[in-house]
Structure 1
């Protein structure tokens, strides 16, 4: 079926509107983050998304405690509500807790109404858990115009990442994750890993096994680990 000029025009306008609503804001926010100046000190910022997981997060916390490493957890509010003891443990052990959405949905596909609801409900859940959220990481790095409005409304700072290791992939191995972390991470980098929601249930287990080998190497190389709020202080 051949489209008329009017139909083509409507499709073009819808494409422009969609780009302005989410695609352009998402690309711009990532570009701005990746262009930030690096640090001179050997500092790394470990961050974890998609939890807490009743199966994996406790094991990850055990590993971090073993090496006295502090990290930032960007939690999915619905998962946090189901695992309050893990949230309490994160707080008790000195980790920072940020928000990673309500249900882990892409902002590109959200209506303005749902975006507003998501932030309102997420903040409500986190407050009930005793967490005053100050940092937000959007799933897949996607934002829309109403995401940006809600970040301002709730005084949240958006955090993206510099390094990923594709630890969620179905066919990845702990050796591949370790190689990517050592190859890609450097001074001042924010590292994004996942303690939940892998393509296979055991995906976070591979990430934890890789970290168990990688953290001692980083420490031996003189790296220290800090929380995201300490990076904000460094750059302000």
Structure 2
């Protein structure tokens, strides 16, 4: 009973502090393994598009941000249990996830998912396709005629293609493009792109409506003044989708 009450109190901390007008620390959950959305830099610190955006959101909201890294597979359960207050981890907005947590509007537009392989003639329809577990890409492959091979991290899915375990990897185009560019021609984008999800948004507990509205309003302002597009261009290039 004590554990249940402790978790419930932790989940209400952020919203209660906002309602009282008191300064508070917001714990921002991320994976730290999905460049350029989020990753660990050479100094071992969280970095990337979402880290810079999240810090900007907190600054504009006059909140203190504290980043927490968490493995992707348990990132939603650890949000709902109160281990942090938000998720900024390249998470696509889907109806299934929205039944468990709440989302701000998207801060990265809906984009295609793509296949990447060692050659253009990879078997995408009946072969083995690698995808990160609990992603919309893994769900899509599971319903296709291909064999799904799931891994805990994005890097492991790419490694599976390189070592011959998988014929291709299926992931967000914006994560795959830097990987392909850095491969020096070893990896290629192949097949048709597949539109999935409603864009990337910040995940929050359903009980934290005030915190969601606070961040949502700032995202709206950043779309209107062009500053969000500037940040997207900085991290994803001039060809990235914008608002």
TM range (shorter): under 0.3
- Higher strand residue share: 2
- Higher helix residue share: 1
